[in-house]
Amino acid sequence: MSPQEAIQKIERGSAEIIGRDELAKKLAQGKPLIVKAGFDPTAPDIHLGHVVLLRKLKQFQGLGHKVKFLIGDFTAQVGDPTGRNELRKKMSPAEVARNAKTYKAQVFKVLDPKKTEIVFNSRWLNKLKPQDVLELAAHLTVAQVLHRSDFKKRFESGKEISVLEFIYPLLQGYDSVHLKADVELGGTDQKFNLLMGRQLQEAYGQPPQAVVMTPLLEGTDGVQKMSKSLSNYIGINEAPNDIFGKVMSISDELMLKYYELLTEADLNAVRAMHPKEAKMQLAKELVDMFHPRGAGEKARAHFEQTFSQHQTPEGIPEIKILSGQKLLDILMVADMIPSKREGRRLLEEKAVTHEGTVISDENWAPQKGVIKVGKRRFLRLA
């Protein structure tokens, strides 16, 4: 594949390429490039928003290049200020380590393990001396930082900005220096940090990395960036039926963006399909992407049986009602809800039913029959 053909392939699902001509020259050298993307393990689950970047990394792997999957175990403790309107809560090393472990377990559902090196930036950032940090800080001005829209808004509204947050882009940029990255990938919200990598590489006498930015993927609400904290995410470790059902809940307009960023499907062919069938195909493909082949077809059958025909699925879990047991206790024991607080929220939203009748009172006396929680969770009370 020629450099221009390779760039055309990379451009699908990319929002912007900075240093496009530089990238073409790097590709023309005919040697494997070092392609880097960083992920701060601030939450334990990888979701479809992350997969947009992971698939772009896989594209580079398919073109014969080396991928450095960087787990920001050091930078996660500093906290990325991007898009924040307040100080980020500091994470403990133990929390970061737990989350990083799950990242390692999940990432190879997308990437080729033979062509991936997982690196942790604590291995070199922990070794920086005060003099090294001062040298880094000399390459960033206050004017640069306050030009960022997120910092500018906070400064003008009188909200606190920690000096530690100024350090974050320098650390992310130094990762590129240490790894001698030829290309760095990131979301459009990361532009400032990605450009800092180019700036520092030049300051340290290295050729600047090309930057490939991908669009941000909206979550199931169709509005906000996919995020676990907003409960609008689709995790790649979720059960097939849950992934399928969540994909089916997105809008027809957002569906096309999911196709573009998460699959290799012909978009013209997708546009020619009936929206419902196109969404069914998308949901099936995404389930099969993260689960054994055939799981997508089973999830489709479950969805059609449960939601298209309004039937209760077979093989749902069953639990015996114990004397004096309250509804929320039962739902907690059966892993139907993560907390009683979440259970009360679902009750308030009339998202819990018993044999089709809405339950809104947490003191409701449990009775035999099928409980439905939300759109996809069922429990038989016996």
Q: Which pLDDT does position 89 carry in this prediction? A: 65
Rounded CA separation 216/150 (Å): 16
User: What secondary structure does DSSP assign to 152-221, as a single string?
Assistant: HHHHHTT----HHHHHHHHHHHHHHHHHT-SEEEEEGGGHHHHHHHHHHHHHTT-PPPEEEEEPPPB-TT
Q: What is the pLDDT of residues 44-63, one digit of tens each?
A: 789 999 999 999 999 999 99
Mean pLDDT of 271-290: 94
Alpha helices in 216-357 (DSSP H): 240-248, 252-262, 267-272, 275-290, 295-303, 327-333, 340-348
Q: Using pLDDT thresholds of 50, 70 and 90, give the confidence band for residue 355.
A: confident
- Assess whether 333 and 285 both reside in one domain: no
- Of the given ranges (6-15, 73-82, 282-291, 317-326), which has the lowest mean pLDDT? 73-82
Q: State yes or no: pLDDT of 27 exceeds 90.
A: yes
Average of pLDDT values for 28-37?
Answer: 94
| Confidence (pTM) | 0.75
Q: Are 46 and 103 within one domain? A: yes
Residues 49 and 178 in one domain: yes
Tell me, yes or no, whether 91 and 140 share the same domain.
yes
Assess whether 46 and 84 both reside in one domain. Answer: yes
Q: Which helix (H) or strand (E) holds 102?
A: helix 93-106
**pLDDT confidence of residue 88:** 58
Domain containing residue 285: 238-308
Are the beta carbons of 296 and 288 closer than 8 angstroms? yes
| In a domain? residue 376 | yes
Query: What is the four-CA torsion angle of 310, 314, 315, 318, rounded to 10 degrees?
Result: 60
34 with 134, same domain: the answer is: yes
Please report whether residue 229 resides in a domain.
Answer: no
pLDDT at 313: 65
